[in-house]
A and B are shown apart, each in its own frame.
Chain A
Amino acid sequence: MIAGADEFDRGRRPAPGPLPAIRLPRFQRFRLANGLRVLAVRHDNLPEVSARLVLPYGAAEDPRQRAGTALLVARALTEGTSERPAGDVAEWLDLLGARFRIDVDHDATTLGLRILSHVLDGAFEFLAEVVARPAFDAQEVQRLRDERLDEIASGLDEPRIIASLRLGEVTFGQHPYGLAPGGVDETVREITADVLRDYHSRFYRPSGATLILVGDVPQHDELRQRLETVFCSWRGDPDGAGELAEPTLPETRRLWAVQWEGPQSEIRIGGVGISRADQDYPAVQVMNAILGGLFSSRINMKLREEKGWTYGAGSHFDARKRRGPYFIATAVDAKATVDAVREILAELERMQTEPPSDEELELAKNALTLSLPRLFETVGQVSGRIAQQVIYGLPDDFWETYPETVRAVTRADVLRLAGRFLSTERAVIVVVGPARDFHAELERLGPLEIRDVHGRAASL
């Protein structure tokens, strides 16, 4: 192409047009006679609906020594009801063409249905039956338990899963956040049909639960009438939710290595982060975007684009009802293992001492605020975001005020929050890789503990 042939200057980034108005969801909201809250959003460019039933109880309510109960309760819902055996439930769901997904974390249980809108009534009937009247047949429960045990065992074939599990344990110790929401082998073995029945009768109650419907849904009166009819026999209040303690950070740096023969090392470096409802959450997102939340963030640019040690490196704040984990995650060429750990620690230090440049701060704020239109595009995105608002009790206008809140974050805020969360003195470091090759060097970074894939003390 001949230089200068264009009628415009390619050397300049094209100026954006005027900011479009964001289309935030407009709720219809009402409460059924049994106490179930309903939030419905019409979003009907395609004939589909995303439904999520949110129960504000999850793995944190698992009985002691029975971690994994909440997950198995949710899985058992579709394995037979008082009206029909497991096989018939499966056929019913599959004939509707629906996708049913459960999501159980420490804070909540979410039952998600994705359907074409012409089967909406059938989907309501399905949901009402499985949530209110699961059979918990002993044989089916035993099968689910065995499947979960297989799944736990298979996870130990994956270095990235091993690294994440071990990071949780070291970071949270005995706190419920220290165990994966699905429990571990020893706790899952103890789960029986009675344990599931008990959890279900206490926590699967309409009062306190919220049904979120997004997509091609009927108008208010019609919708309400249909839901009243279908859900009327589900009744009751939840009982006996415990108070979850606030986790605390380990006092000193903790360093674990798991021997795994492979071409890469999985590295996790983290600590205790922030709760979702914390006023500082948006500012933490800004800080995180600069540190490792974006492709163009400090950690990824250093480890991937400058060093070429990895396919990618990022930082994450998993904000929960209580302070959830924050962590850096990457997989690096095994030869660069200890160098990569050092570089990450250096970036964590730098984040606390070196204020972000104007450009970094602006990029982080723009990425967080200007992305809102595309984060509310599909029915699944919209219902997912509403579910977060429900679970964490965020105000209705959270997303409306969010851009303003983010815009107000200062360089001083970023430094303050980096100081609050990113201590390298108290960092938890987990490396899963060929530790025989690098343990001596890694040991220079702190008292190194060698563990096996299960997290038990081991030697090399």
Chain B
Amino acid sequence: MASEPIAREGVLSFDLRERWLDNGLRVIVQEDHTTPVVSLHIMYHVGSKHERPGRTGFAHLFEHLMFQGSEHVPDDAHFRHVQDAGGTLNGSTWFDRTNYFETLPSNELELGLWLESDRLGFFESAITQEKLNNQRDVVKNERRQSYENRPYGLAVETVLRMAYPEGHPYRHPTIGYMEDLDAASLEDVKDFFRTFYTPDNAVLVLVGALEADRGFELADRYFGGIPRGPGAPQVTAPPVPASRETREQIYDNVQFPRVYMFHHAPAFGGPGFEAAEVLTQLLSEGKSSRLYRRLVYERRIAQDVSAQVWPTEDCGLSFIVATARPGVEPTTLELAILETLADVQQGALTGREAEGAVNRSLRELVGALDGVGGRSDAVATAATFLDQPGYVNEIVARIRSVTPEAMVQVAKEWFVPERRAVLYVIPETSAGGDA
């Protein structure tokens, strides 16, 4: 079953149009009149890596405050306006960026622009200590719910501490630490806003049923009068030199051990990134994938196994995670993972399995670009991280050109002890938290 071109000629070539406003805001429009909806996505080039010591979690806490009203939008009106228009909305914070997005019926594009421009141009007068206190409580509950009270919920932040040296921008999780959340002040909020929330530190992407020229005109109308900032300081997370493997174990209220194997990896869009992505498909996506077949199916030592590369702007990071079946030691899991990596490094890949991994990556990619929301996110990320929005039109070709040799190369270069951190999560003595 040879694979054919994934698309009729040009189908995955999105016509991206781009213009800069005088204040430095980069605006990108892609017309798609298939469905009468429009996605509006604004990405600020600020994330947890820009936080200063003692203020971890601040970029994310700030994101929450952006939903609490601005000068012309009353406190609780942001959500209400969007939902009242039939839209959906959210925001998210990553190591390198923070984004805000709405998908709206196409006749409500201006509503989105009005809301986004108001919280960029008219935020400060609306922020209060009371709002900060309330959202700090909400975020602390987010940390409790999504990390502290989840099985294995603190593993990833532990691994980050192991993998990155003191002071490294990727060393702490976006959710931050409780004591730092407590320390955040209203003055911090205003400083952070003035420093990073400026039009020249953002990209605005509009995808959907709109005319591109109209999109630019409206973007200028709503955002054009907002002054350029003093220039946001950029932070680059430096690559971590290969040194030696780090190992730790922590205890959690769980029944089954779990292994987290971290490797430093290529950065988003950088050399080897697509090969690393396809390699993770080959390792853990689908029942013929190498790790699944060995750990779950053949040896029956793991309940589950997954591999992923995180899309970070600077130095990259990847995880292989496996949960033990009853009675299986974490060491057994780790050895089986290492054997699998060694097989790959020794070039044991077949053309067929590589082809399958490429096909799975392409299918996933097309699925991610299917909706206007996913597409605008991809364009904004490519513009922010790579300064190349057109990357979204190249990914198909890049993934298709990933060869078995390229994957072997990535495995040899990155999946080595010198770039590795291994964490075991071990059950506390009593099983299941029974009373």
Contacts and interface: CB of A to CB of B under 8 A. Distances in A.
Nearest to B300: A143
A452 B433 CA distance: 9
Interface stretch (B145-153, B243-251, B259-267): B145-153
A333 interface: yes
A90 B353 CA distance: 11
A116 B359 contact: yes
Interface stretch (B3-11, B157-165, B387-395): B3-11
B281 to A, nearest CB: 9
Contacts of A118: 3-6
B111 A380 contact: no
Contacts of A91: 288, 352-353, 356
Interface in A1-33: 1-2, 5-8, 10-11, 13-23
Interface in B247-291: 253-256, 285-289
Nearest to B360: A97
B286 A452 contact: no
A325 interface: no
B314 interface: no
Contacts of B296: 147
A331 B84 CA distance: 26
Contact of B371 (A5, A378, A459): A378
Contact of B37 (A98, A99, A374, A435): A374
A392 interface: no
B363 A114 contact: yes
Interface in A297-327: 301, 304-311
Interface residues of B, number: 101
A157 B431 CA distance: 9
B105 A8 contact: no
A95 B433 CA distance: 42
B36 interface: yes
A164 B109 CA distance: 39
Given A310-B141, A331-B144, A333-B141, A294 B367 contact: no
B144 A453 contact: no
B334 to A, nearest CB: 19
Nearest to B226: A1
Given A16-B108, A46-B370, A153 B326 contact: yes
Given A10-B118, A94-B287, A311-B145, A304 B138 contact: yes
A368 B253 CA distance: 41
B191 interface: no
A260 B362 CA distance: 43
Given A97-B360, A367-B86, A261 B145 contact: no
A14 B253 contact: no
A369 B86 contact: yes
Interface in B84-132: 84-88, 103-111, 113-114, 118, 121-122
Contacts of B148: 262-264
B370 A116 contact: no
A228 interface: no
A260 to B, nearest CB: 5
B35 A311 contact: no
Contacts of B233: none
A331 B107 contact: no
A374 B81 contact: no
Which among A2, A21, A47, A94 has the greatest number of chain B C-beta atoms within 10 A?
A: A94
B150 A158 contact: yes
A122 interface: yes
A156 interface: yes
B435 A17 contact: no
A233 interface: no
Given A46-B370, A262-B148, A377-B35, A308 B286 contact: no
A453 B138 contact: no
B84 A363 contact: yes
B371 A94 contact: no
A221 to B, nearest CB: 21
Which among B135, B139, B433 has the greatest number of chain A C-beta atoms within 10 A?
A: B433
Contacts of A156: 255, 432
A157 B253 contact: yes
Which among A47, A301, A363, A450 has the greatest number of chain B C-beta atoms within 10 A?
A: A47
B64 to A, nearest CB: 10
A372 B107 contact: no
Interface in A341-390: 362-363, 366-367, 369-374, 376-380
Interface stretch (B40-48, B72-80, B337-345): B72-80
A150 B255 CA distance: 10
Nearest to A122: B1
B141 A309 contact: yes
Interface string B147-183: 0111100000000000000000000000000000000
Given A11-B72, A367-B83, A21 B36 contact: yes
B433 A46 contact: no
Contact of B137 (A294, A308, A450): A308
B433 A261 contact: yes
Contacts of A294: 79, 83
Nearest to A257: B435
Which among B137, B255, B326 has the greatest number of chain A C-beta atoms within 10 A?
A: B137
Contact of A153 (B72, B255, B300): B255
B80 A296 contact: yes
Nearest to A47: B7
Contacts of B3: 97, 118-119
B366 interface: yes
Nearest to B71: A10
B253 A311 contact: no
A332 interface: yes
B149 A262 contact: yes
A119 B366 CA distance: 14
A319 B335 CA distance: 47
B179 to A, nearest CB: 15
Contacts of B357: 94
A269 to B, nearest CB: 17
Nearest to A372: B86
B432 A46 contact: no
A405 to B, nearest CB: 16
A264 B141 contact: yes
Query: 8 closest Cβ contacts across the A-B interface?
Result: A370-B86, A97-B359, A308-B137, A20-B36, A259-B435, A90-B287, A17-B107, A14-B110
Interface of A: 1-2, 5-8, 10-11, 13-23, 45-48, 78, 86-87, 90-91, 93-99, 114-116, 118-119, 122, 143, 146-147, 150-151, 153-154, 156-159, 258-264, 294-296, 301, 304-311, 331-333, 362-363, 366-367, 369-374, 376-380, 435, 450, 452-453, 458-460
14 contacts: A10-B122, A16-B110, A46-B7, A46-B12, A47-B12, A48-B367, A119-B1, A154-B323, A157-B433, A294-B83, A296-B83, A309-B141, A373-B106, A452-B435
Interface of B: 1, 3-8, 11-12, 32, 34-37, 71-72, 76, 79-81, 83-88, 103-111, 113-114, 118, 121-122, 133-142, 144-146, 148-151, 209, 221, 225-227, 253-256, 285-289, 293, 296-297, 300, 303, 323, 325-326, 352-353, 355-364, 366-367, 369-372, 432-435
Given A96-B359, A154-B323, 19 more contacts: A7-B221, A45-B32, A46-B11, A78-B287, A91-B356, A95-B352, A156-B255, A157-B254, A258-B435, A308-B134, A311-B144, A332-B141, A362-B84, A366-B86, A367-B84, A369-B86, A371-B88, A374-B37, A460-B435
